């Protein structure tokens, strides 16, 4: 944030800037982190870019033109033959496909007292700071469908498209273009992926799960083996003891018989 | 004879002690599983909508296994002290069945936990959050559950999306079809709210100015309780089963030595 501001301050001090050598810049990424989005682009307002062309006692207005990059092959002129700025709209140029359209009109930003970035922390002042510092192209979602809308319409842009922007300084009394910046570097809006493509396969099994499953299976097997062993040893034991008992009862019977026999 | 008598007494003492521990663990397992089933963090609707809610099934099994362990441990103590062969055999068979159920519960909890990846919740959030048309009543109920849960999650934990607010920008979603990107780059609950429940600055939130939107993802807030739930059921059950293994082996040995 601070370094960007230093560069701008440098530029103004140097008085080397004329509009023709400058381009519209995207808003500082430390301030506007969500930029560009699917359908909007936030641009820095042209601070100190037109100072050399401003005369005192005259009123000026800045126009912002936007066009899709492929339109530059067709026509990238923003003025008519007598230096008047083009009055094209979003619908007339099919959203910037056939040529630039006017997206905004605002006052010349104050070079002498730029917005203070330190005020961004204050919830009451941040709206003013943002309004002074940047302009959001594509902000208005309803003006296209509102038949009563008379101002400059700034409808949402198309996703996954490259756009270029230009600021034009216009004398509001004469309606003639006085200065313009270069076309900005190509700025591409975001592309959205389909949620169907998200892969929800969990991948590798976790170590804990493997430990639990394997150890419990082994323990279960050992328990069943132990049960079998004890049941079979009990059965064998009972056979042996029943054989013993039979043998013993036979011996007792025999021994009982012998005294009977001997008594007889 | 006196020596083997002593040995039998020692074995009896150990088995009684083992059964007491099993009984207490059974009570603890029941209590723990009731706690998890009661859904204290309100995350059940998310799992139900993904169809991956088997860690709750594992907790339900845990409740009943806990009761069974308590009852069987009492039976075991009685059987060991009376040295009754029939009772001991009944105890062993029933314990083995309970062992099998608890084993199922542990393995289910551990396995299902592996399915709960960030991508699973991301896909579900994008496909269900704020979905306006429902296919049937069940779909509608699940969609409402998912939407309410996410709204509450984002508000209470000051987070946005699964891995961050860029989830809403990188993917199309059902939310995007009803809310334009210019007005709602992400849901309103991703904005920092004031005490009345409205964003402190809407422009700051839409542009992503630090301090006016929640920049961290909600996955930690989801996976923390899920992990506690799954590992609690799985590892505690595993510990109980290891102890029960030794008690059962001892009981089988005792049973084979007891005279009718």
Give strand ranges (E) for B27-174. Answer: none
Among the partner-chain residues A126, A194, A227, the one whose CB lies closest to the CB of B96 is A227
Who contacts A79 (Cβ-Cβ below 8 Å, separation ≥6)? A85, A86, A168, A177
Distance in Å, alpha carbon of A231 to nearest chain B alpha carbon: 7
Tokens (6 digits) for A230: 């004890």
- Neighbouring CB atoms inside 10 A of A1's CB total 12
Tokens (6 digits) for A78: 């923003």
Residue A177 pairs in a beta bridge with A170
A193: chain B residues, CB-CB within 8 Å: 170-172
| Residue A216 domain flag | no
- What is the structure's pLDDT at B74? 96
Q: Burial, A14: exposed, middle or buried (Cβ in 10 Å; 0-12, 13-18, 19+)?
A: exposed
Higher pLDDT, B82 or A258: B82
Residue A60 pairs in a beta bridge with A171
Kindly report, residue by residue over B238-250, the tens digit of the pLDDT. Answer: 999 999 999 999 9
Contact B241 A213 (CB under 8 A): no
C-alpha R_g of chain A = 44
**Residues shown for chain A:** 264
Contact B238 A215 (CB under 8 A): yes
Residue A192 phi, psi (nearest 5) = -105, 135
Round to whole Å and give the CA distance between A164 and A182: 10
Among the partner-chain residues A30, A195, A216, the one whose CB lies closest to the CB of B107 is A216
Stretches where chain A sits below pLDDT 70 are 1-20, 259-260, 262-264
Which of A39, A42, A130, A202 would you mutate first to test chain B, the one with the most B CBs within 10 A? A202
Helix (H, G, I), strand (E, B) or coil at A147: coil
Kindly report, residue by residue over B31-81, the tens digit of the pLDDT. Answer: 999 999 998 888 999 999 988 889 999 999 999 999 999 999 999 999 999
Compute CA distances A25 → A17, A47, A139, A155, B142, whole Å. Answer: 14, 10, 17, 20, 45
Round to whole Å and give the CA distance between A236 and A244: 12
Among the partner-chain residues A136, A139, A220, the one whose CB lies closest to the CB of B99 is A220
Who contacts B153 (Cβ-Cβ below 8 Å, separation ≥6)? B159, B218, B221, B222
DSSP state of A69: G
**Per residue in B196-232, is it b (16+ CB within 10 Å) or e — as a string?**
eeebbbebbbbbbbeebbbbebbbebbbeebeebbbb
Who contacts B152 (Cβ-Cβ below 8 Å, separation ≥6)? B42
- What is the structure's pLDDT at A19? 56
Compute CA distances B19 → A52, A56, B122, B210, B250, whole Å. Answer: 93, 97, 46, 59, 11
Kindly report, residue by residue over B85-95, the tens digit of the pLDDT. Answer: 999 999 999 99
- A to B CB pairs, distance under 8 Å: 166
B169: chain A residues, CB-CB within 8 Å: 34, 37-38, 190, 192
- What is the structure's pLDDT at A237? 81
Cβ(B101)–Cβ(B149) below 8 Å = no
- What is the structure's pLDDT at A14? 38
**Residue of chain B with shortest Cα separation from A235:** B256
Give the total number of structural domains in chain A.
1
Helix (H, G, I), strand (E, B) or coil at B46: helix
Q: How confident is the model at residue B253 (pLDDT cuts 50, 70, 90)?
A: very high
Contact A126 B204 (CB under 8 A): yes
* Segments making up each domain of chain B, as ranges: 1-116+226-257, 118-218
Contact B207 A31 (CB under 8 A): yes
Among the partner-chain residues A31, A39, A216, the one whose CB lies closest to the CB of B103 is A216
**Residue of chain B with shortest Cα separation from A230:** B256
Q: Which of A77-86, A159-168, B119-128, B158-167 has the lowest mean pLDDT?
A: A77-86
Rounded to two decimals, the pTM is 0.84
- What is the structure's pLDDT at B1? 53
Among the partner-chain residues A34, A198, A223, the one whose CB lies closest to the CB of B169 is A34
Tokens (6 digits) for B58: 């594992």
Distance in Å, alpha carbon of A84 to nearest chain B alpha carbon: 31
Distance in Å, alpha carbon of B231 to nearest chain A alpha carbon: 9
Tokens (6 digits) for B22: 């099993």
> Residue A36: is the preceding peptide bond cis (ω within 30°)?
yes
Distance in Å, alpha carbon of B120 to nearest chain A alpha carbon: 5
| Residue A147 domain flag | yes
B154-158 long-range Cβ contacts below 8 angstroms, 24+ apart: B154/B187, B154/B189, B154/B190, B154/B214, B154/B218, B155/B189, B155/B193, B157/B218, B157/B221, B158/B192, B158/B214, B158/B216
Domain with residues B118-218, CATH architecture: Orthogonal Bundle (1.10)
Which of B114, B166, B181, B194 would you mutate first to test chain A, the one with the most A CBs within 10 A? B181
Contact A141 B256 (CB under 8 A): no
Q: What is the mean pLDDT of chain B?
A: 92
Contact B182 A234 (CB under 8 A): no
- What is the structure's pLDDT at B14? 95
Who contacts A214 (Cβ-Cβ below 8 Å, separation ≥6)? none
Kindly report, residue by residue over A45-67, the tens digit of the pLDDT. Answer: 988 888 888 888 888 999 999 99
Contact A195 B107 (CB under 8 A): no
- Domain extent, residue A66, equals 25-185
Kindly report, residue by residue over B3-22, the tens digit of the pLDDT. Answer: 788 888 999 999 999 999 99
């Amino acid at each position: 944030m601070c370094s960007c501001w230093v560069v701008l301050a440098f530029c103004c001090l140097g008085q080397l800037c004329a509009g023709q050598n400058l381009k519209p810049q995207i808003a500082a990424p430390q301030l506007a982190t969500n930029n560009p989005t699917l359908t909007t682009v936030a641009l820095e307002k042209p601070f100190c870019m037109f100072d050399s062309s401003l005369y005192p006692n005259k009123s000026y207005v800045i126009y912002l033109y936007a066009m899709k990059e492929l339109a530059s092959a067709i026509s990238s002129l923003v003025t008519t033959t007598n230096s008047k700025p083009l009055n094209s709209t979003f619908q007339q140029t099919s959203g910037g496909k056939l040529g630039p359209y006017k997206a905004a009109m605002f006052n010349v930003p104050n070079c002498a007292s730029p917005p203070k970035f330190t005020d961004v922390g204050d919830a009451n002042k941040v709206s003013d700071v943002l309004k002074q510092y940047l302009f959001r192209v594509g902000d208005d979602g309803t003006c296209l469908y509102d038949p009563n809308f008379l101002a400059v319409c700034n409808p949402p842009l198309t996703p996954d498209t490259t756009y270029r922007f230009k600021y034009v300084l216009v004398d509001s009394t004469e309606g003639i273009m006085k200065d313009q910046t270069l076309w900005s570097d190509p700025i591409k809006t975001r592309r959205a992926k389909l949620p169907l493509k998200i892969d929800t396969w969990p991948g590798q099994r976790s170590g804990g799960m493997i430990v639990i499953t394997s150890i419990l299976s082994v323990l279960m097997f050992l328990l069943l083996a132990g049960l079998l062993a004890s049941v079979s040893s009990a059965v064998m034991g009972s056979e042996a003891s029943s054989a013993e008992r039979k043998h013993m009862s036979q011996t007792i019977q025999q021994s009982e018989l012998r005294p009977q026999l001997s008594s007889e | 004879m006196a020596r083997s008598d002593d040995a039998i007494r020692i074995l009896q003492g150990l088995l009684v002690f083992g059964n007491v521990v099993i009984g207490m663990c059974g009570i603890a397992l029941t209590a723990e599983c009731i706690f998890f089933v009661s859904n204290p963090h309100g995350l059940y609707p998310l799992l139900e909508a993904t169809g991956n809610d088997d860690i709750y099934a594992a907790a339900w099994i845990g409740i009943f296994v806990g009761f069974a362990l308590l009852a069987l441990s009492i039976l075991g103590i009685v059987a060991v002290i009376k040295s009754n062969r029939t009772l001991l055999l009944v105890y062993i068979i029933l314990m083995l069945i309970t062992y099998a159920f608890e084993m199922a519960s542990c393995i289910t909890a551990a396995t299902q936990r592996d399915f709960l990846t960030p991508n699973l919740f991301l896909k579900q959030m994008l496909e269900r959050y704020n979905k306006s048309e429902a296919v049937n009543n069940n779909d509608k109920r699940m969609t409402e559950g998912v939407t309410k849960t996410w709204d509450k999650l984002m508000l209470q934990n000051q987070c946005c999306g699964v891995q961050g607010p860029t989830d809403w920008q990188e993917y199309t979603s059902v939310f995007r079809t009803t809310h334009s990107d210019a007005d709602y780059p992400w849901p309103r609950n991703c904005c920092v709210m004031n005490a009345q429940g409205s964003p402190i600055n809407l422009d700051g939130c839409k542009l992503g100015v630090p301090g006016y939107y929640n920049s961290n993802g909600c996955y930690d807030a989801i996976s923390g309780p899920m992990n506690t739930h799954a590992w609690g059921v799985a590892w505690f059950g595993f510990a109980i089963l290891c102890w029960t293994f030794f008690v059962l082996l001892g009981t089988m040995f005792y049973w084979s030595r007891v005279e009718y």
